[in-house]
Structure 1
Amino acid sequence: MSTFDLFSVTDKVVLVTGASRGIGKALAVGFAKAGAKVICAASREGGTAETEAEIKALGGTAAGVFADLSDHQAVEKMANDALAIFGKIDVLVNNGGTIARYPAAEFPFAEFQKVIDVNLNSLFLLSQIVGKSMLAQGFGKIINTASMLSYTGGLTVPAYTASKHAVAGVTKALANEWASQNIQVNAIAPGYFATDNTQALRDNPERNQEIKKRIPSGEWGQPEQLVGAAIFLASEASNYVNGHILAVDGGWLAR
């Protein structure tokens, strides 16, 4: 096998949640450009139509599924629907998520529960269902989207912070159980990227400058800059990487 082949994801079946926009869309298109068959998941029916169309225009293969990630029954149905499309899933990218911003003393508990359901509980349920199929086929890759808030506390986002700390923990827990069965479970921790979730921060001049000053490159990341890390973790090149949280942050953690 050549060094180049180690990084191949050609004909791999990849399920990407949160693929309608932002990081998820960039990852879905990136996998398709690399030759993978991509199943794009969104929170509503038809939500990934634009992503699927872009992939098909490039000559790639794409399909769509949907589920409200706060609805556990809908998540289970989506997982089974996705498995039925190509008969397997080689790579699961748990990227779908949400955020809510309130001062901790005023944070609505219903919002706290929703963030945990979407960011954590659905991730575990999808990993469990798809993971069972990977155990049966004898191989698989699971890539979770963690965060800089898997390391720090943040401001006005206690639910998101709790969920992303937990994503890091679940990643390690699943890796411990499944590594011996040829399933690698890892996470990518994006730094500060220009997406819908960070729009409020970028719109706040003070917070925007604080963040940019801490990033050695001095700039917010672009979603496409996460594709290389995802392809590495989805390929045979990462077969001995397990339970790792890969920071793609422009050096933010180094400050």
Structure 2
Amino acid sequence: MYVADQSDTILSVPQNKGREGMTYLTWVIDDYASLPDITIFLHAERYQWHNDDPLCDGARTSRLQLPYVLEQGYVNLRCVWTIGCPHEIQSLSHQVDEITSETHTDQVYAAAFQELFPSIPVPESVGVSCCAQFAATKDVILWRPRADYERYRRWLLETKLEDGLSGRVLEYSWHIIFGKEAVFCQRAEACYCKLYGLCDLHCEEEGECREQYTLPPYSTLPEGWPWYGWDSQWQNATIM
């Protein structure tokens, strides 16, 4: 496990910048010559609002269908479209020259994309379910030379974009880095089946399956979650 805010640890990063992006890139660069067959890129805490699970439980990754991951090369760990799909970034229509505290990711994405991927035309729109948690195979990671990942990290270190913006630029670029099209939004019901082996679901919409994930009212889960809910009352998490 990499620690981003303590430089004296064995596994640390050059600078705590770009949110999880700095950690992910540093791991790829450091372990490029000894990658496992599959790498799962995850945030540190088990329970987080964006985990695609009824309890927002990161332990859902224990259900990952590894043959499917190996077949695909890259998979987003979220099947639901809530936040990110189908067109989170309209990169060509919302560009700005001046960065302020009100600047949104799609307003800086085109310029950042040109720096990160100088040989690729800027896509008109980008869509992928948030929030930078995914799995990638060794072959797909090695499809790019180590120098590419070093360049992406150097961009993170040198960009004038604040931490949240630079991190979100990468959040909506990982799937492109690993070979997927700019809009990568799979049908939720099929995704749950192929990725997690949950094949008896009846999802309400193409990108929504409420029995599996509903956007929480707040991004910080209640203290004591999942045994204590939003009203601070005890709940039986084993049957949820």
After TM superposition, the score normalised by the length of structure 2 is 0.25
Bigger Rg, structure 1 or 2: 2
TM-score (norm 1): 0.24
Question: Which of the two has greater strand per residue?
Answer: 1
More helix by share: 1
> Highest relative contact order (Cα 8 Å, sep 6+), 1 or 2?
2
